[in-house]
């Protein structure tokens, strides 16, 4: 289950909790099939596209992979903007650390950030090295620096080293995206072992605390912290109770920390996706049945592709969002928010 599939999908919501964000988001630099680059040539607006017809719909082919799943082995391979995202210098000279930047939503953010002019460090698990190297290639092709830092976020000492290495190799840090997560579906509470609970909490909550604590003293005024939450924070699916609790914690953290650190000129926001086609789903996060119909019960009748979130991560990081903090940006396929 994902971020949910089947059950409570109908009453999910979407939306923009951030008041003025929707208008600020008006021009995502997408142009399917257009050449990638750091700047869109004048007069090359993306073609008018029907969102219902864009991207694959269910039923999806049955598939599963051992955790952590590789994006390159999915059918279809998620679209993270590799051939379509076009930047316009919105993050020129910025320096970003993204956890879970090898695949899915974090990968879409990493590619977009680089094409907007930022240098990017990504963290991932050692088993995900092939996906990570592919992201690095896209970052370098955009003319930016890519820093690959594999390691397990459940280890507090590693989290501190991660921030330190990213900062040292990028020459500073002003965008921090806590995006990595663990999700494993269990139909009954009794099946959630303490080991699973520990893995979900450590990856999704502890690591967010550890990384943010390590980074904060070094973030200059104007920096942006972004946490990937989920629709499950507000509308938990019954099969991923442990995961849903961590996502509610993500949102409480965003809203509280935003008040604390605005004194330093640092903004903190969250992104709450609905169903997105990513490796999280095929590595145990979703049942095979749920995967088959994934995203089909949203008004858009399909899951989102990570590239459809790229411009949200760019907007929340960019200085143009200077009045946006303590907000959660919902992107759930048209179900309403909250
Ligand atoms: P994904 O599998 O592509 O990304 C998750 C990443 O987490 C992995 O690539 C992995 O590198 C990282 N990770 C997991 N455990 C780790 C550990 N112990 N140490 C280091 N890294 C670890 O899937 P995604 O869907 O793009 O997930 C990104 C974020 O989006 C997550 O926070 C997830 O909760 C959120 N989200 C996803 C959906 C969805 O439907 N896909 C919906 C709502 C929210
Ligand atoms: Mg991955």
Q: Residue 135: which of 170, 105, 111, 165 has the closest Cα?
A: 111
> CA of 111: how far to CAs of 31, 71, 258, 284, 295, in Å?
14, 15, 26, 26, 24
Q: Is the pLDDT of residue 7 over 80?
A: no
Q: Is 243 a catalytic residue?
A: yes
pLDDT for residue 45:
64
Q: Is the pLDDT of residue 23 over 60?
A: no
Q: Using CA atoms, how far apart are residues 163 and 111, in angstroms rounded to an integer?
A: 20
pLDDT for residue 47:
83
Q: Is the pLDDT of residue 5 over 80?
A: no
Distance 228 CA to ligand 1 centre (A): 9
Q: Mutate which of 280, 284, 304 to test ligand 1's pocket (most atoms within 8 Å of Cβ)? A: 280
Environment of ion ligand 2 (residues, CB < 5 A): 102-103, 128, 279
54-96 tens-digit pLDDT:
999 999 999 999 999 999 999 999 999 999 999 999 999 999 9
Domain 7-23+57-331, CATH among 3.40.190.10, 3.40.50.720, 3.40.50.970, 3.40.50.300: 3.40.50.720
Q: Is the pLDDT of residue 2 over 90?
A: no
**b/e per residue 241-252 (b: at least 16 CB within 10 A):** bbbbbbbbbbbe
pLDDT for residue 290:
86
- Arithmetic mean of pLDDT, 292-307: 96
Closest CA to ligand 1's atom 44: 230
Q: Is the pLDDT of residue 25 over 60?
A: no
What pLDDT band is residue 19 in, cutting at 50, 70 and 90?
very low
pLDDT for residue 245:
98
Q: Using CA atoms, how far apart are residues 39 and 200, in angstroms rounded to an integer?
A: 39
pTM of the model: 0.90
DSSP 171-225: TS--EEEE--------SSGGG--HHHHHHHHIIIIIHHHHHHHHHGGGPPTT-EE
Domain boundaries, the chain: 7-23+57-331
Distance 277 CA to ligand 1 centre (A): 11
| Closest ligand 1 atom number to CA of residue 250 | 32
Q: Using CA atoms, how far apart are residues 148 and 330, in angstroms rounded to an integer?
A: 29
- Arithmetic mean of pLDDT, 222-242: 96
Q: Is the pLDDT of residue 167 over 80?
A: yes
pLDDT for residue 26:
31
Distance 48 CA to ligand 2 centre (A): 31
Q: Is the pLDDT of residue 8 over 70?
A: no
Q: Which residue has the higher pLDDT, 26 or 158?
A: 158
311-328 tens-digit pLDDT:
999 999 999 999 999 999
Pocket around ligand 1 at a 6 A CB cut-off: 2-3, 68, 100, 102-106, 123-125, 128, 152-154, 179-182, 203, 228, 230, 273, 275-276, 278-280
- Arithmetic mean of pLDDT, 284-300: 91
pLDDT for residue 9:
31
pLDDT for residue 37:
43
What pLDDT band is residue 13 in, cutting at 50, 70 and 90?
very low
**Percent of the chain having pLDDT more than 70?**
86
127-150 tens-digit pLDDT:
999 999 999 999 999 999 999 999
Structure token pair of residue 153: 């976020």
pLDDT for residue 289:
83
Q: Is the pLDDT of residue 253 over 80?
A: yes
Q: Which residue has the higher pLDDT, 338 or 251?
A: 251
């Amino acid at each position: 289950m994902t971020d949910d599939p089947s059950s409570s999908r109908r009453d999910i919501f979407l939306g923009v909790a951030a008041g003025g964000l929707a208008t600020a988001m008006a021009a995502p630099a997408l142009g399917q099939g257009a050449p990638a680059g750091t700047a869109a040539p004048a007069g090359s607006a993306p073609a008018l596209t029907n969102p219902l017809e864009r991207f694959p719909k269910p039923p999806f082919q049955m598939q599963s992979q051992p955790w952590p799943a590789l994006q390159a082995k999915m059918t279809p391979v998620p679209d993270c903007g590799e051939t379509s995202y076009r930047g316009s210098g919105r993050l020129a000279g910025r320096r970003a650390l993204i956890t879970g930047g090898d695949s899915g939503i974090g990968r879409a953010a990493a590619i977009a950030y680089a094409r907007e002019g930022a240098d990017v460090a990504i963290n991932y698990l050692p088993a995900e090295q092939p996906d990570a190297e592919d992201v690095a290639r896209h970052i370098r092709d955009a003319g930016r620096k890519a820093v690959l830092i594999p390691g397990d976020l459940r280890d507090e000492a590693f989290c501190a080293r991660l921030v330190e290495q990213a900062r040292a190799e990028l020459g500073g840090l002003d965008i921090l995206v806590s995006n990595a997560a663990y999700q494993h579906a269990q139909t009954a509470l009794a099946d959630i072992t303490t080991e699973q609970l520990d893995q979900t909490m450590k990856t999704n909550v502890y690591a967010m605390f550890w990384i943010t604590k390590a980074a904060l003293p070094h973030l200059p005024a104007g920096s942006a912290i972004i946490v990937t939450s989920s629709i499950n924070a507000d509308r938990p699916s019954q099969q991923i109770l442990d995961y849903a609790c961590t996502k509610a914690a993500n949102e409480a953290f965003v809203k509280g920390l935003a008040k604390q650190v605005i004194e330093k000129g640092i903004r903190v926001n969250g992104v709450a996706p609905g169903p997105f086609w990513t490796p999280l789903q095929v590595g145990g996060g979703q049942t095979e049945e749920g995967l088959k119909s994934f995203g089909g019960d949203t008004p858009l009748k399909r899951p989102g592709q990570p590239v459809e979130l790229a411009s949200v991560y760019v907007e929340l990081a960019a200085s143009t969002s200077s009045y946006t903090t303590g907000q959660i940006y919902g992107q759930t396929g048209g179900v309403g928010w909250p």
